């Protein structure tokens, strides 16, 4: 790609992101991203929401109520015009073509960057994405953005959300806190990367606070443009299930004897899930997805450069994050997948 420098931009160029639009600002990850973007105080943030939406949105947001699922995107394009970044953080249950419609409207409006509803798996790991049944979605999103030629995508690689997954039942990280059961995959020692919701929020806010381009050829400082059509890698913890279990016992004041621990093969669990999905039983999707990350050859521990330091992300306290996950699990805040 031809180098772009701030010094070569037209008059009036400020070399920073000033205007951001977000779809899904009231959702699980969207609300966290919105909170940290507002906290940075560096952007004008517009929440694009459906006219019928009743979700409460935080103070400090501009709100544009638009029917973005229809075939006529005139109003949506007008709302997006002048925005530099579009963040899409929609529910997995949203209509399949929703992201595509937003991407096409963003291209028409000249939005430079899109974070397109990818907050998790290492998108550069083809085998992991293929086995997790995410490759087709990844390719559809990224190829459409590239083909339209107006925007660049940036994918946040954070792996599974820690507190959400810890409290999300035995099909995720293996824990049922109300029943005090724990499903250990393999011998429980395969390390993976995992990120808390606040760390993801801090990462996106820091990313979009970077200058857009280097000032000139001598400027080696980090920029947003260096992540064009690629991934940003962040993490809160690198740990195995046994590390999680030790933290859980510290937080809950329990011992091994208080728990019923069973062991399963990650490969067999994944295979059973894939077979069920091929027969149309999507109830096992979560079990399949999580089991694949714990394969012993290390796909859950990304090999690419970690960008925590570049983004100035803090070192987090594991037991504090675990306490949040335990609370979420005990209160049923995360629906189990079955």
Q: Are 85 and 224 in contact (CB under 8 A)?
A: no
- Residues 120, 198: Cα–Cα separation, whole Å: 14
Take residue 116 and report the two structure tokens written for it: 């397109």
Residue 298 pLDDT exceeds 50: yes
pLDDT score recorded for residue 69: 79
Rounded to the nearest 5 percent, the helix, strand and coil shares of the chain are 40, 15, 45
- Residues 166, 164: Cα–Cα separation, whole Å: 6
- Residues 34, 109: Cα–Cα separation, whole Å: 22
Q: Is 281 left (phi over 0), alpha (psi -120 to 50) or beta?
A: beta
How much of the chain, in percent, has pLDDT values that exceed 70? 98
In the predicted model, what is the mean pLDDT of residues 318-323? Answer: 98
Domains recognised in the chain with CATH numbers = 17-157+196-233 (3.40.50.720), 162-195+237-331 (3.90.25)
**Residue 3: which pLDDT band, with cuts at 50, 70 and 90?**
low
- Residues 171, 176: Cα–Cα separation, whole Å: 9
- Residues 298, 305: Cα–Cα separation, whole Å: 15
Alpha-carbon distances, residue 185 vs 133, 266, 267 (angstroms): 20, 5, 9
Residues 116-143 pLDDT 10s: 999 999 999 999 999 999 999 999 999 9
- Residues 168, 338: Cα–Cα separation, whole Å: 11
**Residue 72: which pLDDT band, with cuts at 50, 70 and 90?**
confident
Residue 1 pLDDT exceeds 50: no
């Amino acid at each position: 790609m031809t180098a772009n420098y701030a010094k070569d931009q037209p008059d009036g160029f400020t070399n920073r992101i000033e205007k951001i639009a977000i779809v899904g600002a009231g959702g699980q990850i969207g609300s966290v991203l919105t909170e940290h973007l507002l906290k940075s105080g560096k952007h004008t943030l517009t929440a694009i929401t459906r006219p019928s939406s009743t979700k409460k949105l935080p103070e400090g947001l501009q709100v544009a109520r638009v029917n973005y699922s229809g075939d006529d995107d005139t109003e949506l394009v007008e709302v997006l015009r002048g925005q530099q970044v579009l963040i899409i953080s929609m529910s997995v249950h949203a209509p399949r073509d929703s992201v595509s419609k937003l991407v096409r409207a963003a291209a028409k409006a000249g939005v430079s960057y899109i974070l397109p509803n990818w907050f998790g798996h290492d998108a550069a790991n083809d085998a992991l994405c293929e086995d997790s049944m995410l490759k087709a979605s990844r390719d559809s999103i990224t190829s459409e953005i590239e083909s339209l030629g107006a925007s660049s995508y940036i994918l946040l690689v954070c792996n599974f959300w820690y507190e959400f997954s810890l409290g999300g039942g035995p099909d995720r990280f293996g824990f049922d806190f109300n029943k005090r059961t724990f499903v250990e995959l393999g011998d429980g020692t395969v390390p993976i990367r995992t990120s808390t919701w606040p760390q993801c929020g801090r990462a996106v806010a820091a990313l979009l606070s970077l200058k857009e381009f280097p000032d000139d050829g001598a400027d080696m400082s980090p920029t947003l443009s260096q992540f064009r059509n690629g991934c940003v890698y962040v993490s809160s913890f690198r740990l195995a299930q046994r590390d999680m279990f030790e933290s859980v016992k510290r937080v809950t004041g329990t011992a091994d004897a208080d728990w019923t621990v069973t062991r399963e093969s990650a490969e067999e669990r994944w295979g059973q899930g894939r077979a069920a999905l091929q027969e149309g039983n999507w109830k096992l999707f979560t079990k399949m997805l999580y089991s694949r990350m714990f394969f012993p050859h290390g796909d859950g521990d990304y090999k690419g450069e970690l960008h925590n330091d570049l983004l100035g992300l803090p070192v987090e306290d594991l037991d504090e994050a675990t306490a949040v996950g335990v609370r979420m699990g005990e209160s049923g805040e995360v629906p189990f997948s079955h």
